[in-house]
Amino acid sequence: MPNTKSAEQRMRQSGRRHAHNRTISSRLKTLEKRYETFVAGGKRDDARKALSEVCSALDKAAKTGVIHRGKADRKKSRLTIHLAKVRA
């Protein structure tokens, strides 16, 4: 339990931010899974659209500090490599 009024406020803020960040992280995972299913199924056009959605979401998450900028760049790079391996 917080001992001061400011610590109490920080606890509330931290709880709100944690919940918000979790929703964003969950959405990222969902988008990545959807992209991976398209890649596995060989659906190149759908995968390309899904990749742009994933990249956009990763950039937004990195911009707001939910994930690190380097992690977002690394994931985008690896996902793009997966798409290049898909036969048309």
Tokens of 5: 């009024």
pLDDT digits (tens, 9 = 90+) for 12-66: 999 999 999 999 999 999 999 999 999 999 999 999 999 999 999 999 999 999 9
**Beta carbons within 10 angstroms of residue 59's beta carbon:** 14
pLDDT digits (tens, 9 = 90+) for 14-25: 999 999 999 999
Global pTM reads 0.87
Q: Rounded to 5 degrees, what angle do the CA atoms 39, 41, 44 make?
A: 50
Please give the Cα distance from 85 to 17 (Å, whole number): 38
Phi and psi at 2, nearest 5°, equal -70, 145
Tokens of 79: 């996902």
Q: What is the mean pLDDT of the chain?
A: 95
84 closest CA partner among 47, 37, 31, 32: 47
Q: Which fold has domain 5-85?
A: Methane Monooxygenase Hydroxylase; Chain G, domain 1 (1.20.58)
